[in-house]
Structure 1
Amino acid sequence: MNFYAIPPIVTCITIFAIGFLVYINNLKSKVNVIFSLFCLSMVLWLFGFSMMYLTRDNTTEALQWARLGFMGIIFIPILAYHFIISFIDYHPGKWLLSILYLTALPSIFLGWTDFVYNGVARYFWGFYPTAGKLYFIFLSMFAGLFSYGVLLLFFAWRNSKRGSVKAQQLFYVLIAFAGGTTGVVDYIIKYRVPIYPIGYLAALFFISVIAYAITKHHLLDIEVVIKKTAVYSLLTALLTGLFISVILIGNSLLGSFLGYNSIWFGTLAAFLVAFLFQPLRDKVQELVDKAFFRARYDYQRILRKYSHALSQPMTDLDRFAHLAPYLLTHSMNLSGASVMVLEREEKHYLVRAGVREGESLEGLTIPEDSPLIQEIYQKKKELIKEEIQDPAIRTEMEKLKAVLIIPSISWSTYFQKPTLLCTTNLGEKLSGEPFSREDIEFLRTMANQASISIEHAFILEELRKHQEQIIKSEKMAALGTATAGIAHELKNPLTYIMTVAQTLPQGWDNPSFRESVMKMLPSEAERMKLILDGILDFSRTRELTLQPVEITEVLKKTLALLAYEIKKGRVYVKEEYRHTAKVLGDPNRLTQVFVNIINNAVQAMGEKGGDLTILSQDHEKEVRISIIDTGPGMSKEVLRKIFDPFFTTKSSGTGLGLAITKKIMEEHHGNILVNSSPGRGTSFTVCLPQAELGYRI
């Protein structure tokens, strides 16, 4: 076993793994595919030469392995150049690439002749090929293309924006190829120069820098999550390989110098390895921690903290607007952050709250039709300032002091189309580092998790804004439904009064007529007054005013309003007023509560009609009014949804009646209880605080 073959084999496997990772990450990316082919060419070279080292005494077999390795060497400089110009998006003209690839085709056949390798020589590390007459062409191609490629990378890096992700990626690719250029040593050795071939070390350096750039700066748009255990395991393996290589090379060099191999050198080297390995491993491990894990955040801790804060549905967007910037700014050490929320009526986005630099932005507005908002709608994902080319969009991001904007878009049917509800605008990291793909993925996850709460708060906020309009609209809808019945109820007493007015001159002297009129006229007038007062109370729109209220009067006015619908529905009403205390309430709002509940009960009992019981009684510090019908009842599933906005089981209706009823009860610091089951009717119980003991507003 030739231990000199181990380092190239390890390098070969490493390069293959990285090349395969790059390839499967994005099969459609031209740059990724070219890089993978470049890695494959190095793998073929290293594999062929490793097998050549393992060959013992058969020079013919060793030469064949060397020529197989040359098949990879042909393409290494060509693919390196192709990758570089693709990576920096440089277009010098297709003719040069075409010539290079056309040159490679005959080289494949030449590689199996003595024009390239005319034999092999034995060195202390094993067999190594010797150059043929045309080998200088490939030496020149490697030196020329690698040097030109490094120069292109240098100018691209120098012209890039300092601190940007692209600049950092260019820097590491430049370092990788500059280090890889030292592989030219292997070409020189083939002219029988007795130098140990370090080409595999140049390749290992190259792929190590590329791997670092992938993990640290997401080179080639690859997202790799590194675990410390995996890094440390790989580190231990590399150090072990390095120490073995040093022992083997040192032993061979000493053997060449002394003329024999000494067992004492191997023993001494083993003791040195045992003594130095752990301290060196600890030092390198410390450097790895600084390189890979220094600025990594405990995302799970942040996400758990954020999730807990949003575990309950928010009642307003201000909570989110203050919470998100504070949490992100302090957790990710940002220069500032802010939240911008849609104002639908004003057709703009308003910065509700901010932290640090974002605090000065509070009150800033961005129109709905601005380039920034339109870009978010078009991409439907985050905006990264350094990737934005449009000057107008960049200007608006600068106005928001944001280098990254995370949108929260609702796909709810409530908005009828995808709607951008708010954006979280993040400033730069104080460390100067850009946002990594891992950062962005975390922020995207956070925004998705919060979207339901944001949507809930947004809808509630809009409902609050339009509450008076909604209540008035629902009132008018209910009043419109009862208009025919009200007209009918007013018509009867009016007919009586008109009849009395016509017969009054002739019949007034009749004692029985006079007695009848004096008995009936006040009651009919009172009936009309009750209906008209009910209409006025019900239709009047004003601010909530809590005052002592006799609930019986509210109920009687409600029944007067709905008298026609009740009769038409063949509903028998039984009234039992057993309470003694007044309630603290707003007569106007309470009338709407009872209109909604009683109207629903009458409609639920349908054409067959039924019994409707209204029962009031004192209960501790409350007055409880139960409205019990003998309708079909409700299932548990329906019962859970009856107070949800826009939920209805009717063929027509807004689905807002009971939602508004519940809201009014909350305003009264009261409650509404429902008891129902299929086939057993429904009972609504309105619980209101007693006036003497209730809340004082």
Structure 2
Amino acid sequence: MIYYSERTKAVVNRLLQAVVLVYQAVAVVVFISTLTMAGEWLRTPFIGGFFEHTLVLNGSDTSEDDKSWAMYKQGFKVGDQLISVDGTPIVNSDQLSGILNSYSVNDIVNVVIRTTEGVDETAAISLQEFSTADRTAYFILPELLSLIFLIVSLWIFGLRRAEPAGRAFSIFTTSLAIVVGGLFDLYTSHQFTYIWTFALGTAGGSFIDLALGFPQEARVVVGRPYIRWIGYVVGLVLFLNAVGTLFNFDNPTAYITAWQVIYGFVGLSAIFYFGMLFYHALVSRSPVVKNQARTILIGSLIAFGPVVFWLLVARQSFNPYLLPFLIIFPLVNGYVVLRFRLLRTDYWVRQGLVYALLTVFVITAYGLFVSGVALFLPMPSDNPYLIGGLVFVIAIFLEPLRTRLQKFVDGTFFRGQRVYEDRIRTFSHQLTTALDLDSIGRVLRQQITTTLSPDRLHVFTYDPLNDQYTALAGEDGRPTSDIRFASTSPLVQYFQKEKIPLYLDSINPPSILKGDEARLSLLGARLFVGLRSDDKPVGWLALGAPLSGDAYTPKDLDFLESISDQSSVAISRVQTVANLERRVQEMNALSRVSQGVNVTLRFDDVLELIFAQTAQIIPSTYFHISLYNKDANYFYYGFRVDDNERMVSLENRPLPSGTGLGQEIIHKGRPIITQDYPRECQSRNTTPSSQGIYAWMGVPLNSGAETIGALGVGSRDATVTYTRAQLDLL
């Protein structure tokens, strides 16, 4: 196992990003060039078959029903090689296009074809225009798919280029864009045959890269990132093996074997990828990983199911119109890689099953209805009155029927889901009566504890006064944890960037949480579900492992996300009201200070007023007003309160030089804020004025351009921190 320095990781990261970006640039060039060359080729009369780079017939035929291209009508088959056209020997595709450009549609040309048995046969071929249906099937559809794959690749790379999974997926979709978009060039112009072969092998390598890194990094890869690159090395070796066969006219079909080896590698890589997805979907301890794996598997079933059915069950040759289904696979993968939100796969399966049954029922009802009517009143099945009557009946009974089918499906196949939905409805009702954070926390804890039974549960919410996230009180009325997270901590940044829950893997925790590893280890929670809001999270739920010893399921995750969404709204509402009340209190305090200064004559009364109003809006146990006697050149306390008790005996007495941070503020005329008072004093080479102070802040007291003193507050409570907003208020 190798652990690299942060600098090395950053350099490798930038290098890999550059490699992927160059690969994407190549794909863009291939796409644009293919469009240009295809436009020229389509203006050329069609010879009646696709000849590959060694001029062998590749077996592709027209997409029109009950028709065949001219070469196949003459009895030629896959592997037969074009030798000459009208007596002119053909050595490459450019020469073939040049000769065909000298002819017009419906002209007759004599071609010599060398069959796979080595016999040269001559045939008269009538040149035709490449049909609209074939243009759509072999050119328009693949190029449209290639464009979509390119857009998805650039989109994912732009958002997730710093992550291995994002780069692997970008390589995969870029390879798909080249392979699919380069098919027409592979059949016609053969300018990008080498790049197409390389992209095919790279697609297999990216499957292995994805399998080892997403949706969860394999343990074997931890500390060994180079293992993810093994697939690319194999793909490169297979590409180099194929290079010598691609334009070998002495053995024109040798490349087929080399390509078949690459096809086999891609197939095995895909099996490995889907096998890892099945493994994660079945045995992963993380409900997030399970949900992501199942989402990809369902998307893959929709994408590849029609193709597999067509080839294996229907036993038909490949149809280009099956290609659009493949769009679903990279789109679903891209959505999961971007981690916008977890898809509720159970919900979509339930709805799909209901509407499938509803479709079968409506079709069956229509057939029975038409058959029954025909017994008494003969009429065609497309009679408008008959169709109108059926539409009227469907409009009346569709919703009641759908509701009954939904209950039947839920009761038969998804009984557990109904329990969760009942709990969510109960929670929504209870939440309407929760008017403060503690009551919201109690409702949350009650529902989560009774439903999931975690061994520990913390509800963290944002404390705007201290600019940090703290745990709400438990059943004993005390916070469930003393651990606090600053608003800039890595965990908070995670929930600001990501929209999905976080499951901590003790083997390989996310690198983004490196700064919070100690806190998270002490907290002992495994599953974190964010309480989201518009600008920053209002908090999160932190759950330990279930008491049953089982792993959390995607259904548990759906339940937690549903109640967290509702809780976020309630907590945001309570915090908004609390912030408004606090601001009103601050404005009232400032107003009273302003009024008191204008009407109070005694200096000591002014200082008492300032202390009383400051204590109401800023939590503190320490309050000092340090003043400077310019004539006598010494500092003294004009007002001092320690532990909420005024220390009159220490006031109006000269202070030793270098005592407390107040003198530093008076010297420099700038405020100071710190969460570690002793360390701040040590760094400034001053003696602390009091012991046991944690958070401290002070501001200068200015008279015109001159600083005459300093006002400082501090706290002996280690949980109190001061913010920049409080400093501005002071």
> TM-score under structure 1 normalisation?
0.38
> TM-score under structure 2 normalisation?
0.36
The structure whose RCO (Cα within 8 Å, separation 6+) is larger is: 2
Based on CA coordinates, which of the two structures has the bigger radius of gyration? Answer: 1
